[in-house]
Amino acid sequence: MSDIKRRIKSIESTIKITSAMKLVSASKLRKAKIKFESVKPFFAEIYANMVDLASRIDVQQLHYVHKHIEPSNKVLYIVIGGDRGLAGGFNLNLFKKVVRTVDKKKVVILPIGKIAISFFCKNGFEILSEFSGISEEITPEKAYHITAKILHNYDSGVFDEIYLAYTGFMSTLSQEPMIKKILPLDFGKSKQGDSRRSLNYDPAPNAVFAAIVPQYFAGMLYGGIVESFAAEQAARSNAMESATGNAEEIINNLALKYNRARQFAVTKEIIEIVAGGAAGQ
Amino acid sequence: MAGFNLRILTPTRVAFDGLAKSVSFRTTEGEACVLNGHEDYVAPLAVGAVRIETENGERKLGCSSYGFVNVLSSNVSIFLITFEFVEEIDVARATEGMQKTSAIIAEGATGDELMDAKARHERCKMRLKVAKLSS
């Protein structure tokens, strides 16, 4: 009986922790959702615009649009994970998707978030550099600094391709791991049928792409980090809610067991007294 | 004169979304203006003033940082890292920013810090200039 009581007490304190974590992530989620809603149009449209621009360019050997002439056979994956665990499958679903997609020998990972860093280091992936504790306070300028360094590597031919792996925020209840190709921008010809309309570049196409790709890349990274952070908070909020629910269920079961045991002990005592009294007569 | 769709997007908000008669901005090559029926066009933008004439003739003035403009059929999209309308410019903050970044540059900062300070200095300077234009 005292065992059951101890367990109930320990689960009760777990409930306190999980419900506090739920409250914290729910309030963070509210803020993150507002930030995500404001970046959503930019994130979606800049990508669509770049894809369209790239499909209409007729200049060959532009390394932002086509592959490098001398491939390095290395691909960079920027993986945006969380800084903390206890968020259900949030981190692992994304990491699993990346691991399934990539060829370990050809990939270089740039993990963002403590959980992503420890996962990819532990599993022996080649790491470019790492960033942690930036997701909550990310600004477009910070994203720009990170991408400037990566672009420098891309320009000098260290990587052939750059991908962004993040978690999409579908709704508070559903988050989905996503992989988006950032560079090069060779997504095939435009479907809109306007690829024959001439496009005026000012200055020349090479210079235009050299100037706008950094903005595009920074915008994509910023959008990915903001969306992943919102998804992380939603995932944690859901995970903690179900953890609290499960803990309550366990407590209910244990309380039932405890009451039965108590009742059994009382009944046993009564039987003993009655039996003792009967024997005395 | 009919209007065209103009959208000014930054990572933190949609700053403008509506019909406009004209929009002028500063590209890396110089000042440019887009009217209705402009040919398809793409250009990188520099820190500078953005002037919009809306469909009903209202004139709006703003301040852009780096980004690019994309004209596609009658849709004009301007993507910027930051954008402020003149009434949103905090003059005191921009003045303070100018002083701070000047000090950082004068102290002999190097690398990222210097680049950062120079970019911020340029943005603050343009904010003050745009704020003066409207007064």
> Are residue A127 and residue A259 in the same domain, yes or no?
no
Q: Which amino acid is at A243?
A: A
pLDDT number for residue A76:
93
State whether residue A205 is helix, strand or coil.
helix
pLDDT number for residue B19:
93
% helix / strand / coil in chain B, to the nearest 5? 30, 45, 25
pLDDT number for residue A114:
93
Option in B11, B28, B112 nearest A219 (CB): B11
> Are residue A35 and residue A163 in the same domain, yes or no?
yes
pLDDT at A191 over 80: no
Q: Which residue in this structure is represented by tokens 């101890």? A: A6
**Average pLDDT along chain A:** 88
Contacts of A137 (CB under 8 A, 6+ apart): none
Dig out the tokens for A172 from the structure: 């508070």
- CA of B10, closest CA in chain A: separation in Å? 6
Provide the residue range defining the domain that includes A245. Answer: 2-11+240-280
Q: Tens of pLDDT along A231-271?
A: 999 999 999 999 999 999 999 999 999 999 999 999 999 99
> Are residue A208 and residue A99 in the same domain, yes or no?
yes
B79 contacts on A by Cβ (under 8 Å): 42, 45-46, 49, 215-216, 219
pLDDT at A2 over 70: yes
Share of residues in chain A with pLDDT > 90 (%): 52
Q: Tens of pLDDT along A126-184?
A: 888 888 888 888 888 888 888 988 998 888 888 889 999 999 999 888 999 999 999 88
- Kindly report the pTM of this predicted structure: 0.86
pLDDT number for residue A197:
64
B68 contacts on A by Cβ (under 8 Å): 208, 211-212, 215
CATH number, domain with residue A187:
3.40.1380.10
Q: Which B residues, 92 through 121, put their C-beta within 8 Å of a C-beta on chain A?
A: 112, 116
- CA of A196, closest CA in chain B: separation in Å? 11
pLDDT at A195 over 60: no
Q: Tens of pLDDT along B62-109?
A: 999 889 999 988 889 999 988 999 999 888 999 999 999 999 888 888
Average pLDDT over residues B6-26: 93
A144 contacts on B by Cβ (under 8 Å): 81
> Are residue A174 and residue A274 in the same domain, yes or no?
no
> Are residue A52 and residue A116 in the same domain, yes or no?
yes
> Are residue A233 and residue A103 in the same domain, yes or no?
yes
CA distance A134 to A168: 18
> Are residue A248 and residue A233 in the same domain, yes or no?
no
Q: Which of A12-26, A204-218, B13-27, B43-57 has the lowest mean pLDDT?
A: A204-218
> Are residue A232 and residue A273 in the same domain, yes or no?
no
Average pLDDT over residues B18-40: 91
**Which of A64, A79, A221 has its CA nearest to residue A155?**
A64
pLDDT number for residue A183:
87
pLDDT at A198 over 80: no
pLDDT at B38 over 70: yes
pLDDT number for residue A59:
65
Beta-carbon separation of B11 and A200 below 8 A: no
Distance from the Cα of residue A244 to its chain's centroid = 22
> Are residue A224 and residue A102 in the same domain, yes or no?
yes
Q: What is the DSSP string of A6-68?
A: HHHHHHHHHHHHHHHHHHHHHHHHHHHHHHHHHHHHHHHHHHHHHHHHHHH---TT-TTTS--
pLDDT at A95 over 90: yes
pLDDT at A190 over 60: no
Residue A175 lies in a domain: yes
Option in A194, A202, A216 nearest B29 (CB): A202
Residue A17 lies in a domain: no
> Are residue A128 and residue A230 in the same domain, yes or no?
yes
- CA of B40, closest CA in chain A: separation in Å? 5
Give the confidence band of A196 by pLDDT, cuts at 50, 70, 90.
low
A vs B: CB pairs below 8 A: 90
- CA of A51, closest CA in chain B: separation in Å? 12
pLDDT number for residue A162:
93
Apex CA B5: angle with CA A58 and CA A194, to 5°? 25
Q: Tens of pLDDT along A98-120?
A: 999 998 888 999 999 999 999 99
Give the confidence band of A217 by pLDDT, cuts at 50, 70, 90.
very high
Q: What is the ipTM of this complex?
A: 0.83
> Are residue A119 and residue A194 in the same domain, yes or no?
yes
State whether residue B73 is helix, strand or coil.
coil
**Average pLDDT along chain B:** 89
Apex CA A277: angle with CA A273 and CA A279, to 5°? 115
Judged by a CB distance cut-off of 8 A, whether residue B40 touches chain A is yes
Share of residues in chain B with pLDDT > 90 (%): 50
> Are residue A180 and residue A258 in the same domain, yes or no?
no
Structural domain count, chain A: 2
